[in-house]
Chains A and B, each alone.
Chain A
C-alpha cells in the first residue's frame, strides 16, 4: 500500500460527505424560502429582539453559558465495578470505536530476549552522582517539582537518551573532558510489543525512563495488529539502580493503563498521568477488560471502585485519566486515582496536581425539526489532586470558560489558583429570515479559591486575539496576546478577589515563552511580525523592563534573522537561562546559540553548528566552569569564560 494513498484516505475521511452536503443544501434552500413566507409578520419583533441581543455579550442571552461564581463539577465514586460498566454502556462508549478487521497482516519480527543493561566500562568514575559544583537543572516551571526530559545531569554525569536507538548514554563530566561511562540498552519486549520513549528522570541513584508500551491486538487466528484502535497502550517507567554508574542495574518496571500524558517528580516520588481508552471487548464480570490497572513488574492491580471518580455530566465520560504516585527507591505503587474523562494540560505545584480538559457546551434552537440558531462555547474542566508522598486524592473539580495555552497558564500561589484562558464561542441566529453568523474570541484571567470557585477575574481582554505566553511571578502575572501587535499585559494579583491590569505594552510580534531573567527583567522568546498584516517573521529575543509593572517597556530586542522556529518556543525545557552566568542558550535551525545580555542589549556569545539538522532534543547545560551542548551526536564542551570549544565527544 502506497503511503500517499493512506494519507489521501485520511484526508478524505476528515472532509464532509459529498452527497450529504448536497441534500442538506437543497433542503436548507427550500426551508429557508418557506421561513421567509411564514414569518414576515414576526420580522419586526425579531429585529427588536435581535437589537436587544446585540447589546448583550452572547447570541442567545437566555441560554448562553456564563462564568458561574461556583464552578463545581459534581463527581461520585461507584461502589462496584458493575456500576462503571453501566455508565460506559449508557454512553455507548463501548461500541463506538470497534471495527471488524477482515484482513490483517502478520508482522514478522525477531523476538529479542530481555536484555539486561550493560556496556563496556571505559571509566572508573562510577559512583554516586552527588555533585559539589554549580550546575543547571532542567528548566522547571516550579522549583522543587521535577519534569522529565531527554537529557539530564546531576552535576557529575550527563545522561543522554537516544530515543530512536533505545539507549541511555551515561557520560562522566570529568571537569570539561567528558568520557562515556556506560550505555544502557533499554529492554526489548516479547509478543510484538513496542516500547517508545523520549523522557527520563534522575533522582539520586535512580534513573527512571518513561515511555509508552504498545501491545498489539491478537486475533483468534494468531494474527497481531500493533497499530490502530485495537492496540493497547500502557505508560511504563523503567527504574534503574545507578549505584555503580559503570554498571547500571534494572530494578523494576512500573506501569499503568493508557498513554502517557505527563509526569512529575517531587523528591523520590514519581507521579504519572495517563489517558486510558477501553479498546478491548469489555466483559462486565471481568473488570480487567474495562477498568484501568497499575503494575509493578508482573504484579497487576485493578483500580478499586472507590478510587474511580465519575462526573455527573455524561458528556465527559469518554476514556479515563489515571493518576498514580510511585516510589522509586524501592519501586512500588503508593496510590492510584482514576477520573472518567480525558485530560490535556497538566500543572503541578509542590502539593497539588491540576489536570485540565477542554470541553464545550452547545445551545441550539430548533424550528420544524431543523437547527436554526445555535451557540457553541468552549470551557476547561479543572481537576485538582492533592499530593502527599505518593498519596493522590481528588479534592476539587470545576469548569471555567475558555481553553488553556499550556502548563504556564496555571499557577498556584498562597492557596489560590490563577488561570489565563482564551475564550472562544461561535454560533448563528436568524435575522429577517436569514442567518447571521457570529464568533467571539477574548481572553480572561481567573483567580480560584481552594474550592476552585471564582473569587476574582478579568474578562473580555484583547478581542479577537489569543494567548501566546503566560508567566506568573508571585503577586504579578504577565501574559501575551497577539493578532497584529503583541500586548504584554502586567496584572496585579496581590488581591485575589480583585486582579487588576497594570499595563499593556503593545509591540510588533509576540513572545511565546516568558522567563524571569533578573530583578526587574523579563525575557521573552518569540517572533517579530509585520505590523500591518500581523504575519509573523523571524525569531526574536526581547528583554522587558518590568521594574515598574505600571510602565513595562521593551528594554532591548534582537531579531534572529532567517531563523523562524526553535524547539524552545514550545518546550520550555529546551532553553537554559541564567543571568548570573550571562547565558541564554537554545538550539535553532541546526545551530546551538548562546546569547548574553548587558547594558548594550543582547550579544551572541556562541553559535555551534551541529552535525545533523536537529530540531528536537538538543540541550545545553552548565556544570562548574563549562557549558555542555548535548545532541544525539555527542557532547561539545565550551569554556564558560570565553565560550571556546574545549572538547568534543561523539557517541
Chain B
C-alpha cells in the first residue's frame, strides 16, 4: 500500500470509527486525562496494523478498533477494564430540560462548568459526557458502565440540579 493510499485508507477508517471508539474509551478510562493517550495509542496501533496487512486488516473494522482500544485500556491500567465501585439506587425526580433564560453560550461559561465537573467523581463526568455528547440513552450508559439505571439517573439529575443552581438564571 502506497503512502498516500495508506493515509487515505487510514483516514476513512479513522473517521468511521472515531466517535464510537471515543465513547468506549471515555466510558472505561480511569481518568479523563488519560483519554487522549489511550486514543492515540489505539489509532497508532491501528495504523501499524494497516501498514502491515493492508485493506484486509480486519473483517469488521469497527469491532477491531474497539478490540484494540480494549487492549490498550487493559495495558494502560494493567488490569481488566475497571468497574465503577459505587452504586446509588434511589428515586429521583426527572427535571425537564429547559430553555435557558439567556441565549449566550460562550467559552467562559463552558470553562466554568468544566471546572465544576472536574471536582465531581469520575463516574459522574462519564455519565454526563456519554449522555450529552455521545447521545447515549441512560439504559445504554448503565449497561456500558456496569451500574444500575437508577444510579445513572441519580448522578445525572443531581448534577443537572446543581449546575442549574450554580450557573443558570432563575
Contact = CB atoms under 8 A, between A and B. Distances in A.
Interface of A: 1-16, 18, 20-22, 24-26, 28-29, 32-33, 97, 99, 101, 103-105, 107, 225, 227-230, 435, 437-439, 482-483, 527, 529, 533-537, 562-565, 589, 613, 615
Given A1-B103, A28-B41, A564-B88, A227 B133 contact: no
A527 B10 CA distance: 48
A16 B36 contact: yes
Q: How large is the interface on B (under 10, 10 to 19, 20 to 34, 35 or more residues)?
A: 35 or more
B114 to A, nearest CB: 6
A310 B168 CA distance: 36
B48 A32 contact: yes
A105 B103 contact: yes
B28 interface: no
A1 B105 CA distance: 7
A565 B18 contact: no
Given A3-B99, A29-B47, A29-B48, A105 B85 contact: no
Contacts of B30: 439
A2 B103 CA distance: 8
A103 B104 contact: yes
26 contacts: A3-B97, A3-B98, A3-B99, A4-B132, A5-B105, A6-B100, A6-B109, A8-B132, A15-B133, A16-B36, A21-B36, A21-B43, A24-B36, A26-B43, A28-B41, A28-B44, A29-B45, A29-B48, A29-B51, A32-B48, A97-B111, A229-B112, A527-B86, A536-B85, A536-B86, A537-B87
Interface in B46-101: 46-48, 51, 75-78, 83, 85-93, 97-101
A86 to B, nearest CB: 26
Contacts of B98: 3
B77 A439 contact: yes
A402 B45 CA distance: 33
A16 B35 contact: yes
Contacts of A22: 11, 14, 43
A228 B78 contact: no
Given A1-B104, A15-B35, A230-B108, A25 B78 contact: no
Contacts of A227: 108-109, 112, 167
A11 B48 contact: no
Given A10-B117, A11-B129, A15-B26, 17 more contacts: A1-B100, A6-B109, A7-B128, A9-B110, A11-B128, A15-B129, A25-B40, A32-B48, A105-B103, A107-B102, A107-B169, A229-B112, A435-B41, A437-B76, A437-B77, A438-B78, A564-B87
Interface in B1-48: 7, 10-11, 14, 18, 22, 26, 30, 32, 35-36, 39-48
A437 B77 CA distance: 7
Nearest to B19: A18
Contact of B83 (A7, A33, A435, A533): A533
6 pairs of A and B residues whose beta carbons are closest in the complex: A228-B108, A25-B43, A11-B133, A29-B47, A16-B36, A7-B132
A535 B108 contact: no
Contacts of A4: 97, 132
Contacts, number: 165
A16 B39 contact: yes
B154 interface: yes
A562 B50 CA distance: 51
A3 B103 CA distance: 10
A561 to B, nearest CB: 11
Contacts of B10: 26
Contact of B105 (A6, A14, A439): A6
A565 B35 contact: no
Contact of A9 (B36, B47, B105): B105
Nearest to A163: B165
Contacts of B39: 16, 21, 25
A99 B78 contact: no
A537 B89 CA distance: 9
A99 B51 contact: no
Contacts of A615: 158
Nearest to B98: A3
B114 A2 contact: no
Nearest to B74: A437
A482 B85 CA distance: 10
B92 to A, nearest CB: 8
A2 B97 contact: yes
A534 B83 contact: yes
Contacts of A16: 22, 35-36, 39
Contacts of B76: 437
Contact of A12 (B35, B44, B93, B133): B133
Contacts of A103: 104, 106
Contacts of A438: 78
Contacts of A26: 7, 10, 43-44, 47
A14 B117 contact: yes
Interface in B100-154: 100-114, 117, 125, 128-129, 132-133, 151, 154
A164 to B, nearest CB: 8
B107 to A, nearest CB: 5
A10 B83 CA distance: 25
A563 B7 CA distance: 54
B168 to A, nearest CB: 8
B1 to A, nearest CB: 14
A313 to B, nearest CB: 21
A176 to B, nearest CB: 32
B99 A564 contact: no
B87 A536 contact: yes
Interface centre among B35, B44, B117, B151 (most CB of A within 10 A): B44
A438 B30 CA distance: 13
Contacts of A104: 104
Nearest to B34: A426
